[in-house]
Structure 1
């Protein structure tokens, strides 16, 4: 099992991995979860897949097992910034409630957003925990290398059950809410305790 942090600057070094990550996202979010998201050429993408973001892929011989996207809260592209903030500002057409946070969405070079987190549906149950752990570990180290001391995420509302298992120190920063296929909640993940 390999981990790779992809960017527009290094994606050419990894062959089809970047495209395979977007194909795996399509399988996870459009096919499995039935979310109404943009797709093209068998890949899922959105307005936050810009050179400002980074993508983490957990993969084995080109097969993407899991992945996620990291976006700085300082990002700007046209009218968009980052997903949680844009939802709060009502820019996403109500697909995510605007009252998803207790306070105003942060904008800071030390705070990054984690989105499009998935583990492939075809991963055997015996490997899922290892893949989750590797994803959390890679997310933490990649975010720290980018200068982040905190991550924010809109995640499944059962996060307290598995964040601790993955070594993540997190707290709720928004109310639980039903979106599309389940209950979700915004959380803040503290990376400062993991600094060396």
Structure 2
């Protein structure tokens, strides 16, 4: 099992891994969760998959087992910036604008974590190991990017998983229900992880 941080600058070094990440997202979010998201050729993507983002993949022999997208809160592409901020500004129909207890931050030291998933094919005996590798890569990538904080919208139950893998996910908004799943915006401090 390997963990790789992908960017537009290093895609050529990783063969099909980038496309496999989008295929795995398609399976996780469109096929399994039944979310109505943009798709093409069996891959899920959205307006935040730009050269400014990074994609973290836990993979084994080309199969993507888990992934995360990191996007700088300072990035803009047309009318869009990052998912949580755009939801707060009312630009996204599927996410309510009251998801944060504060104005969505725009700062070079804060990155957004989104499109977090662990494949349903990962056996229960390996899930914690896969989640730990994914979280460790997120911390390493965020640190390399100069982030001292990550902001994300996660299932509320994932806060416990975060603690199990050494991340303190502090609530930054109300618990919201999405298709029967309770979710909450959280901040994750990278400061302690930077030393």
The answer to whether 1:115 aligns with 2:114 is yes
RMSD, aligned CA: 0.7
Residue 134 of structure 2 aligns with which residue? 135
Residue 85 of structure 2 aligns with which residue? 85
Q: How does 1:4-153 map to 2 (within 5 A)?
A: 4-93=4-93, 95-153=94-152
**Runs of 4+ displaced beyond 4 Å:** none
Per the alignment, in what secondary structure is the counterpart of residue 31 of structure 1? helix
Q: Distance in 2 between matches of 1:190 and 1:83?
A: 19
1:180 shift after superposition: 2.6
1:181 shift after superposition: 4.0
Q: Distance in 2 between matches of 1:123 and 1:169?
A: 24
Q: Distance in 1 between matches of 2:49 and 2:180?
A: 23
Q: Distance in 2 between matches of 1:195 and 1:47?
A: 30
Residue 160 of structure 1 aligns with which residue? 159
* Unpaired segments ≥5 residues, structure 1: none
Query: Does the aligned pair in 2 maintain the 1:35–1:180 contact within 8 Å?
Result: no
Superposed CA offset, 1:49-104 (max 9, x none): 000000001001101010010000001000000000000000012x0010000010
* Unpaired segments ≥5 residues, structure 2: none
Tell me how many residue pairs correspond in the alignment. Answer: 195
TM-score (norm. length: structure 2): 0.98
Per the alignment, in what secondary structure is the counterpart of residue 97 of structure 2? coil
Query: Does the aligned pair in 2 maintain the 1:100–1:185 contact within 8 Å?
Result: yes
Query: Does the aligned pair in 1 maintain the 2:159–2:168 contact within 8 Å?
Result: no
Q: Distance in 2 between matches of 1:31 and 1:170?
A: 28
Q: Distance in 2 between matches of 1:124 and 1:169?
A: 25
Query: Does the aligned pair in 1 maintain the 2:176–2:182 contact within 8 Å?
Result: yes
Q: Distance in 1 between matches of 2:78 and 2:6?
A: 23
1:170 shift after superposition: 2.2
Q: Distance in 1 between matches of 2:63 and 2:180?
A: 26
Q: Distance in 1 between matches of 2:6 and 2:99?
A: 29
Q: How does 1:150-189 map to 2 (within 5 A)?
A: 150-189=149-188
Query: Does the aligned pair in 1 maintain the 2:154–2:185 contact within 8 Å?
Result: yes
Per the alignment, in what secondary structure is the counterpart of residue 24 of structure 1? helix
Q: Distance in 2 between matches of 1:147 and 1:122?
A: 33
